[in-house]
Structure 1
Amino acid sequence: MNKKLLLASLLAVLLFSSCSRKSYVYLQDMKGGTGYPYESNYEAVVHRDDRLSITVSSKNPELAIPFNIYGGTFRVGEDGNVSASSTTHVNEKGYRVDVEGNIDFPILGKLHVEGLKVSEVVNLIKRKIIEGSYMNDPIVAVEFLNFKYTVLGAVGHNGTFSVDGDRITLLEAIANAGDLTAKARTDRVTVIREMNGERRMYINDITSKDVFDSPAFYLQQNDIVYVEPKYKKKDNEDRGWQIGTTLLSAITAVCSILWAIK
């Protein structure tokens, strides 16, 4: 191969690799073998415009039918009886939380659920059913039908994402959006959240283990994750550093090649 062509190819490879390399490491202050506490009982909070799937069942399935107005199915056992374990009531449409934070639930009427955790909604419905003497052993299940969040800024691809369930972390959200780009500011990953009629911002540094303690480490419904890109001044500083590194690497490579082909 022509020596000049070989040198040009090596310089091009060095330039490309230097300019495209990411200069950050996630959770770089974590130590191996060290335990870090986490919130194992985390639950999402209900917000306005959420759509909830709520099902009610009982050992006596006939008593639960009025609380499942969108229809349900049940299976009759070989002995001709219906057991609690074989009863399934399915609310296909779900209950939308209105602008006042309420849902209109069968028999029980309006229930204020905004700001409650899933388990608190379950307990609220159970208590109302028992207090109304409708049944003594209600089994209530609540799930989100439209849990979603949005990721914007210096990530692989921006967009709104849906969650199967109601539990997703900030790091998982970034991964789903194609990871951070080389221009991302890892110390300025902001989560914008609507709470009690106002918007709050939580700024996170994902290179630090402190992100685990952030109120926004677990995302809530309709959260907006914004990854701030580096400013122009910072870009120029990084570009200067990259050019310097590239030149040094290139000189080293050229010297090595010249020494090898003598």
Structure 2
Amino acid sequence: MNKSFYINMSIQRMGRNMIACLVAIFLFASCQSYKKVPYLQDTEVVERTVQQEKLYDAKIMPKDLLTIVVSCTNPELAVPFNLTVASSVTGNAQGASQSNLQAYLVDNEGKINFPVLGELKVSGLTKKQAEQLIVENLKPYIKETPIVTVRMVNYKISVIGEVASPGTFTISNEKVNMFEALAMAGDMTVWGIRDNVKLIREGIDGRQEIVTLDLNKADIILSPYYWLQQNDIVYVTPNKAKARNSDIGNSTGLWFSATSILVSLASLLVTILR
């Protein structure tokens, strides 16, 4: 046997070893990548945790818009306490007008200016607490217990980053959690990092905070940031692959050139050893 035969055998063994190593690396990387994809892993951790039975209720914040309706068995008694604005009805030959509810804007101090009652501090209160506050203040004016209904009309959240349909969404029932928000935005793309989701939130005192959330872990549902507040912003961070794909400048051309050179050298080496 000549020397070239042993060289060819060595090269073939090296090639098989390299292929085996590449396959092993690929399988390991695939397993590692899969672990970062599913939401809510390790659910047994949550099952062992004693959860609070209290349902989430949003709290009123500065700059919220509220509609407040006061009603009772005698409608005339409630009229002074309902903030309405007259608007003409289009298409009415007599030019009649109808009353529409006017929203209350919560100021920076968390107060609203309520008819007859004056300023009321409502920030930090839930809707039910705000309703009870107004009922208590109405007792000197209305003998019977009135019905007060408070609603938030500008409850919205924003989802941006690596999601299918980023945008701002209005929440009609004033209650939304992290996964519902992602569902509204069409869920994360394949490039979104599930263990590095940023939540941007402004507190009652006006301070901004940025919180990092890991949606791979099931205990996210126990987090105080699981339920979103009005004006929260959810940012899904892109992974490194997306960052590399977004670079379509000179670096991309250099990669293509380097790859072409390596392919040419490999072809030349195979031809020589035949």
Q: TM-score range by the shorter chain?
A: 0.5 to 0.7
What is aligned with 2:240?
231
Retained in 1: the 8 A contact 2:85–2:102? no
What is aligned with 1:143?
151
What is aligned with 1:25?
38
What is aligned with 1:63?
77
**CA offset digits 1:55-93 (Å, max 9, x no partner):** 111133222111113179xxxxxxxxxxxxxxxxx8633
Please give the alpha-carbon distance, in whole angstroms, between the structure 2 residues aligned to 1:125 and 1:48. 18
What is aligned with 1:79?
none
Indicate how the Cα distance of structure 1 residues 46 and 91 shifts in structure 2: closer, same or farther if over 3 A, else same: farther
Once the two structures are TM-superposed, the CA of residue 38 in structure 1 deviates from its matched residue by 5.5
**CA offset digits 1:147-169 (Å, max 9, x no partner):** 10111111112211111121011
Indicate how the Cα distance of structure 1 residues 233 and 42 shifts in structure 2: closer, same or farther if over 3 A, else same: closer
Write out aligned runs for 1:137-216 (5 A).
Answer: 137-195=145-203, 196-216=205-225
Q: What is the alpha-carbon root mean square deviation over aligned residues?
A: 2.9
Indicate how the Cα distance of structure 1 residues 230 and 92 shifts in structure 2: closer, same or farther if over 3 A, else same: same
Please give the alpha-carbon distance, in whole angstroms, between the structure 2 residues aligned to 1:110 and 1:65. 18
Write out aligned runs for 1:99-138 (5 A).
Answer: 99-130=108-139, 132-138=140-146
Please give the alpha-carbon distance, in whole angstroms, between the structure 2 residues aligned to 1:127 and 1:211. 38
- How many equivalent pairs are there? 199
**CA offset digits 1:37-63 (Å, max 9, x no partner):** 365421111112211111111133222
Residue segments in structure 2 that go unaligned for 5+ positions in a row: 1-29, 87-98, 246-274
Retained in 2: the 8 A contact 1:155–1:179? yes
Retained in 1: the 8 A contact 2:59–2:127? yes
Name the stretch that deviates more: 205-214 or 225-234.
Answer: 225-234
Please give the alpha-carbon distance, in whole angstroms, between the structure 1 residues aligned to 2:193 and 2:229. 22
SS at match of 1:55: strand
Letter in 1 for 2:121: H
Percent of matched pairs sharing the same residue = 40
Once the two structures are TM-superposed, the CA of residue 234 in structure 1 deviates from its matched residue by 9.2
Retained in 2: the 8 A contact 1:143–1:165? no
Once the two structures are TM-superposed, the CA of residue 34 in structure 1 deviates from its matched residue by 4.7
TM-score (norm 2): 0.65
Indicate how the Cα distance of structure 1 residues 233 and 224 shifts in structure 2: closer, same or farther if over 3 A, else same: closer
Retained in 2: the 8 A contact 1:187–1:207? yes
Retained in 2: the 8 A contact 1:38–1:212? no
Letter in 1 for 2:43: M
Indicate how the Cα distance of structure 1 residues 40 and 142 shifts in structure 2: closer, same or farther if over 3 A, else same: same
**CA offset digits 1:241-262 (Å, max 9, x no partner):** xxxxxxxxxxxxxxxxxxxxxx
SS at match of 1:62: helix
Greater C-alpha Rg: 2
Retained in 2: the 8 A contact 1:48–1:98? yes
Indicate how the Cα distance of structure 1 residues 135 and 189 shifts in structure 2: closer, same or farther if over 3 A, else same: farther
Stretches of 4+ moved more than 6 A in 1? 233-236
**CA offset digits 1:131-186 (Å, max 9, x no partner):** x3433301111111111011111111221111112101111001101101111111
Letter in 2 for 1:104: N
Letter in 1 for 2:38: V
